[in-house]
Structure 1
Amino acid sequence: MTQGRSIRLFLVDGTPHGLLTAEIMNWTGHVLTGPRGKLSELVQRPECGRTGVYFLVGPDAENSARPQVYIGESDDVGKRLKQHNRTEEQGGKDFWEKVCLITSKDQNLTKAHVKVLESLLIQQAQRVGRCTLVNGTRHDYIGLPEADQADMAFFLEQIRTVLPVLGFEFLRDSSRPPSKDVVAGALVASPDEDTSPRFRLMLPKHGITAFGQEVEGEFFVLEGSQARAEWVGPAHGYQRLHQQLCEEGVVVEGGDGILQFARDYAFSSPSAAAAMVSGRTANGRVEWRREETGQSYGEWQEQLVAEAADTSPEEP
């Protein structure tokens, strides 16, 4: 069972769409985020005068499935954000709509620390592939003592924990696999109380079989699963996702005109996963079925809810 964490959120101006701060118990980091329209208020806060890293986040006009993100660092974050608020012609950045900055409550982050942290964050964002990075290149900084490097690795993990709570998903690992073994060429899931049973989706007419499993609220299609080579259904938002995963090598040519997943990949829902496999829109709650029983994903979820309700303590 995953250990619980306590995150403290504070609505600075009392509204859900204004400035927001976040802290994790026993972590020295401090997060401040808000919309670009609140930048004049944000830069007046004391956090903006500290050394830290920051993210500029906005939509990607060419890919609605992921945001554009710029990752930066500064020993005066407020000053840097004012520069980014200029137009492109003036050396600023136009794309971003939200900003998120991370500083330290004890103000022990130095310029060397945030340079290393920026490099680690860019590396993580590139590896995960959930956003379009606006950064041109990533620099490797190795001047920190070993203990400080370990501290920054821990700092990174805390950032990855808190950002999804604030609605920023671009550092979440999209290829975190459930525990599994390969037996006689087939994927076999190892018992794990935090993962779902393994599901299968078959398109017998096209000789396609895919395997999936739900982990931490996302639906993973497992490595080795097969998929249609082309989108064959009516135009849909999932069509761009199908093209994107082909372009990024998540799915590769598997022979006989069928694609194959080169690695486990997380989707936001079983329907998104089913659409990628089928090459058309699909109801994943119906089409994904448990291998051992044939029970649909939707029926399995209903069973879990019913069992949980039966075991809930009665109110006095």
Structure 2
Amino acid sequence: MTQGRSIRLFLVDGTPNGLLTAEIINWTGHVLTGPRSKLAELVQRPECSRTGIYFLTGPDPDGSLRNQVYIGESDVVAQRLKQHNREEDQGGKDFWERVCLVTSKDLNLTKAHVKYLESALMQIARNAGHCIVVNGTAHEYANLPESDRADMAYFLEQIRIVLPALGFDFLREVTTPSQVKETLGLYSVTVSQSPVFELTSKSRSVKAFAQEIDGEFFVLKNSAASENWTSSPHSYQSLYNRIVSEGVLPPTGSGLRLFAMDYPFDSPSAAAAVVLGRPANGRKDWKVQDTAVTYGAWQDQQLEALKSPPDDLAPGNSP
């Protein structure tokens, strides 16, 4: 069983949309994040004069549903952030809206350390597939002594814990239904799995299967889907088109497409819409395999199965 973690957050200017720092107890790392509109204040912070790794995030200018991220490193992070704030034709970057930097409280991060972290984080972000990494090709940087690599492995593990908690999900590891456990550094994490759900459309000869893993709704590999988006324009149409363009839904030549891999969706309705090629209510359309129990009814059953507290511990009664 995985142990809990404590993350200490501090709102620098007392507002939720300003600068924020984050630390994990017993970790030497320090996280500072804020919007681009606060860059003038952020670069004056002492953290920005240190060696560190940084992330620039923002929407994709081409209109895809995924954000873009740039991962960089510097001996003096403030200088690099000022350069990135220039216009594109002056070597800057236009897309980013938020910045996050990770430094060390004990000042022990070296140039070699952050180059190693940059290389590893770029690879992790690309493999996770939650965002578009706008860096060039990542080169493996292994020029570190064995002891330093072990230290950086632990440092990297903490970054992957704290950043998703701050809303930066591009490093979040995806556990597919084909896995029952994932390994995160030195910790083994047991995942929660739902039953397998089925969606069938006789009129389109579509049959798809799905499973919920740790809050993400996965359509399973080899599930069938509509060959085209057949409804009027809808927000899910962009999702359908993106998944097709990424090669996740190759055509079969028989009027259908098949999922080439287990693919995660934010909701059962998004998954149902992509499968059917039209807007759909996933809470009703997905059913527990070989039953008539809908996804919504199955969720209700989970709540009803929770044990009620004893009468003597009910609200208003003293223990």
TM over 0.5: yes
Question: After the TM superposition, which residues 105-144 of structure 1 pair with which residues of structure 2 at under 5 Å, given as runs?
Answer: 105-144=105-144
Distance 1:52 1:284 in 2: 44
Q: 2:258 matched to which residue of 1? A: 260
Does 2:171 correspond to 1:206? no
In the alignment, residue 167 of structure 1 is paired with which amino acid?
Answer: G
Distance 2:217 2:203 in 1: 24
Distance 1:265 1:290 in 2: 18
Distance 2:128 2:213 in 1: 16
Q: Is this contact kept in 2: 1:7–1:25, CA < 8 A?
A: yes
Relative distance call for 1:60 and 1:261 in structure 2 (3 A) is: same
Does 2:306 correspond to 1:304? no
Distance 1:2 1:259 in 2: 39
Q: Is this contact kept in 1: 2:10–2:20, CA < 8 A?
A: yes
Relative distance call for 1:251 and 1:158 in structure 2 (3 A) is: farther
Q: 1:250 matched to which residue of 2? A: 248
In the alignment, residue 111 of structure 2 is paired with which amino acid?
Answer: K
Q: Is this contact kept in 1: 2:199–2:286, CA < 8 A?
A: yes
In the alignment, residue 299 of structure 1 is paired with which amino acid?
Answer: A
Shift of 1:179: 4.4
Relative distance call for 1:2 and 1:274 in structure 2 (3 A) is: farther
Question: SS state of the match for residue 266, structure 1?
Answer: strand
In the alignment, residue 247 of structure 2 is paired with which amino acid?
Answer: G
In the alignment, residue 155 of structure 1 is paired with which amino acid?
Answer: F
- Deviation readout 1:138-192 (Å, 9 max, x if unpaired): 1221111223223323322322222222111222234x212469xxxxxxxxxx8
Q: 1:59 matched to which residue of 2? A: 59
Q: 1:34 matched to which residue of 2? A: 34
Question: SS state of the match for residue 205, structure 1?
Answer: coil
Relative distance call for 1:193 and 1:311 in structure 2 (3 A) is: farther
In the alignment, residue 308 of structure 2 is paired with which amino acid?
Answer: D
Q: 2:177 matched to which residue of 1? A: 178
Q: Is this contact kept in 2: 1:274–1:284, CA < 8 A?
A: yes
Question: SS state of the match for residue 159, structure 1?
Answer: helix
Q: 1:158 matched to which residue of 2? A: 158
Shift of 1:293: 3.0
Distance 1:29 1:210 in 2: 44
Distance 2:101 2:307 in 1: 41
In the alignment, residue 93 of structure 2 is paired with which amino acid?
Answer: K
Normalising by structure 2, what TM-score? 0.89
Distance 2:111 2:270 in 1: 42
Shift of 1:309: 6.3
Distance 1:224 1:207 in 2: 14
Relative distance call for 1:257 and 1:146 in structure 2 (3 A) is: farther
Distance 2:80 2:196 in 1: 48
Relative distance call for 1:93 and 1:249 in structure 2 (3 A) is: same
Match of 2:225 among 193, 216, 227: 227
Question: After the TM superposition, which residues 92-111 of structure 1 pair with which residues of structure 2 at under 5 Å, given as runs?
Answer: 92-111=92-111
Shift of 1:55: 0.6
Shift of 1:255: 4.6
Question: SS state of the match for residue 250, structure 2?
Answer: strand
CA RMSD after TM alignment: 2.0
Distance 2:198 2:156 in 1: 35
Distance 2:172 2:294 in 1: 27
Structure 1: state its 5+ residue gaps: 182-191
Q: Is this contact kept in 1: 2:28–2:106, CA < 8 A?
A: yes
Normalising by structure 1, what TM-score? 0.90
Q: Is this contact kept in 2: 1:63–1:240, CA < 8 A?
A: no
Structure 2: state its 5+ residue gaps: 181-189
Distance 2:294 2:2 in 1: 26
Number of matched residues? 305
Relative distance call for 1:202 and 1:311 in structure 2 (3 A) is: farther
Q: Is this contact kept in 2: 1:52–1:75, CA < 8 A?
A: yes
Distance 1:243 1:173 in 2: 24
In the alignment, residue 144 of structure 2 is paired with which amino acid?
Answer: L
Relative distance call for 1:260 and 1:85 in structure 2 (3 A) is: same
Shift of 1:123: 0.9
Q: 1:187 matched to which residue of 2? A: none
Q: 2:24 matched to which residue of 1? A: 24
Distance 1:235 1:265 in 2: 23
Shift of 1:257: 2.3
Distance 2:250 2:152 in 1: 36
Question: SS state of the match for residue 151, structure 1?
Answer: helix
Relative distance call for 1:47 and 1:193 in structure 2 (3 A) is: closer
